[in-house]
Amino acid sequence: MSVSEKLLSMQDKEYKEFHSRLMPTVNPDLIIGIRVPQLRKFAKEFSKTDEATAFLKELPHRFYEENNLHAFLIEQEKDFDTALSLTEEFLPFIDNWATCDLLRPKVFKKNPDKLLPFIYKWLSSNKTYTVRYAIGLLLSFYLDEKFDPEHLKRVADIRSDEYYVYMMVAWYFQTALVKQYDSTIPYITGRRLSVHAHNKAIRKSVESLKIPTDTKKYLKTLTVKEK
């Protein structure tokens, strides 16, 4: 039985219908419909087989869940250089926000200094989901003890009309307002982001349960009128 056949045997048609609506950039015919915990469990078992090694070389994949399986296999890699190489091979084939956002290898988190130069490189990519991925890593791994104000500047300087890029910029700045408010607020008051990202960051902050009410009221006054 092929990998795709194994995945199709796990199909949940109701979940496929629901999830397809969340994935407008993916052809619904290429979404099988497998819940993430079930796919993660399969990936853990599958990773122990010789077939998994061959699967990682079979790019591009056909199904959305095959891409997610690929991401889960990379996440299990314990060697930094191997995980990095596999990630760089895979990034050009990511075509949706969900696959992009779930790829967070633990070995990356353990090696933030080694990872950072590659994040900077990915930020300058011309591929939507490579840029989004880089911003997501800064959000996930570099807003606490590894925070550097330089990261704010690099993300703020991104200019893209791609929805899935500027939404991630907004998400990054909303999280930065929670964790590093004093360093982050000048980027909002100074209108350093694109208008779309600026307003989305404020909107996400107003919706957040982690930002005080008074701060939310202040942020609302900083909304910029969009043309």
Each residue of 87-120: pLDDT tens digit? 999 999 999 999 999 999 999 999 999 999 999 9
80 and 114 in contact (C-beta within 8 Å)?
yes
pLDDT confidence of residue 226: 78
What integer is the mean pLDDT of 117-141?
98
Q: Is 198 exposed, middle or buried (0-12, 13-18, 19+ CB in 10 A)?
A: buried
pLDDT confidence of residue 206: 97
Q: Where are the alpha helices (DSSP H) in the chain?
A: 3-8, 13-21, 36-46, 50-55, 64-75, 80-90, 97-102, 106-109, 112-123, 128-141, 149-156, 163-179, 181-189, 195-207, 213-220
CA angle centred on 220, ends 147 and 164, rounded to 5°: 55
The backbone torsions φ and ψ at residue 50, rounded to the nearest 5 degrees and listed phi first, read -65, -25
Q: How far apart are the first and last CA of the chain?
A: 54
The backbone torsions φ and ψ at residue 65, rounded to the nearest 5 degrees and listed phi first, read -70, -25
State the DSSP code for 126: S
Its pTM stands at 0.95
What integer is the mean pLDDT of 150-171?
97
d(C-alpha 186, C-alpha 208), whole Å: 19
Single-letter amino acid, residue 204: K
Average pLDDT, the chain: 96
